[in-house]
Structures are given as C-alpha cells and as structure tokens.
C-alpha cells in the first residue's frame, strides 16, 4: 500500500515540475517579445502618408480624413469625393459636429477592398464591384477617359497613397437612402 502512495506522489511532483517549466517558458517568451517590440524602430508610414496627402490640393481636408480611415497596408480603391463635392452635395463644413460620422458613412459607400486602376478599364465597358457597405458600384470609363462610378464622373484618377488607389470624384458616391437623409429642404425647389 505504501508503495502505491509513493507512485502517486512521484506522478504529482512530475506534473508540478512540467507546469512550472511551461509557466516559466511562457513568461520568458513574453519578456523577450516585449523587448523586441520596444527595440523595433517605429514605422514612419503614417507620417509619410499624411505628408503625401497634404501635398495634393484636390483632396482637401475632408479627403485627408477619409484616406486616414482606410487601412494603409491593404489593397483598397477609394472613390473620394472632391472637397467641393463634399461641401456642395453633403453641405459639410469642417467644424460640423456630425462631419466625421457622415464621412465614415460615405467611406463605406465609396471604398472597394481591391485595386481598381483606370488603366485596367476599357472604354464603354461597365464592371460592377461591391463597396465595403455592400453598395453595388458600376464602374466604367467614358470616351474622354474619365472614370464614371454610379453616374459620378472623376476629376483625377490613379493617385497612390501606400497601398490605396484614390480616384477623386466630382460628386459623392452613396446609396439613395443616405442621399435622401443628407438632402436639404431647399433641394426640392432646385
């Protein structure tokens, strides 16, 4: 009987030793990982991207805000409304309290998680893509070489910001329900 108890004690001690070794190994791994993260140079891609964006006058402040919301290390195409189109169609001002919410909603309508270059589109041929929000975007190239997305014509095409391709549009790509919600009362009389 005594022999059986000794066998159980040895097994329990072995189990304790294995648990202790695994715990210590985990802690050491976490410490080394933390030191490696601390010693890594900080990425400058965000500041480079911001300075690149600022150099483009056609993008404007609202465009800068929208581009910063898109993951810079993934392939995206953004059909970005021009600054004038945002002010005209959405009637946003920089200090509006709801401008961030409106811009994020527009971003969902106007961004596609893939690259769409104007060079890859044929004139007169329409291709359909789904935006992040699920809005179907009909993209084509007109006879003048401009991109047309759901009836909105481009001003500038194929601007690159990291992995993002930006096409500046002379209007806002949005669904009909959202368009109704941003429409002002005086629009009915135009």
Domain spans, the chain: 1-40, 45-189
pLDDT value of position 37: 62
Closest of 154, 131, 128 to residue 142, by C-alpha: 154
pLDDT average, residue stretch 1-6: 53
What is this structure's pTM? 0.66
Strands, E assignment, the chain: 76-81, 111-112, 127-130, 136-141, 147-149, 152-161, 164-169
8-66 pLDDT per residue, tens: 556 678 888 888 888 888 888 888 777 666 655 444 334 344 445 544 556 788 888 88
C-alpha dist (Å) from residue 93 to 48, 51, 58: 26, 22, 16
The answer to whether 148 touches 139, Cβ cutoff 8 Å, is yes
CATH superfamily for domain 45-189: FAS1 domain (2.30.180.10)
């Amino acid at each position: 009987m005594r022999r059986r108890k000794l066998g159980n004690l040895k097994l329990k001690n072995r189990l304790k030793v294995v648990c202790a070794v695994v715990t210590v190994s985990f802690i050491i791994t976490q410490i080394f990982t933390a030191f490696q993260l601390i010693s890594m140079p900080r990425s400058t891609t965000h500041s480079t991207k911001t300075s690149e964006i600022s150099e483009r006058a056609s993008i404007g402040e609202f465009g800068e805000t929208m581009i910063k919301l898109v993951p810079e290390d993934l392939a995206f195409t953004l059909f970005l409304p021009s600054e004038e189109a945002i002010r005209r169609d959405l009637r946003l001002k920089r200090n509006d309290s709801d401008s961030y919410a409106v811009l994020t909603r527009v971003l969902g309508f106007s961004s596609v998680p893939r690259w769409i270059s104007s060079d890859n589109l044929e004139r007169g041929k329409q291709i359909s893509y789904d935006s992040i929000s699920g809005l179907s975007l009909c993209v084509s190239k007109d006879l003048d070489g401009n991109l047309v997305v759901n009836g909105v014509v481009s001003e500038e095409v194929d601007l690159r910001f990291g992995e993002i391709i930006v096409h500046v549009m002379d209007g806002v790509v949005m669904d009909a329900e959202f368009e109704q919600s941003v429409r002002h009362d005086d629009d009915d009389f135009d």
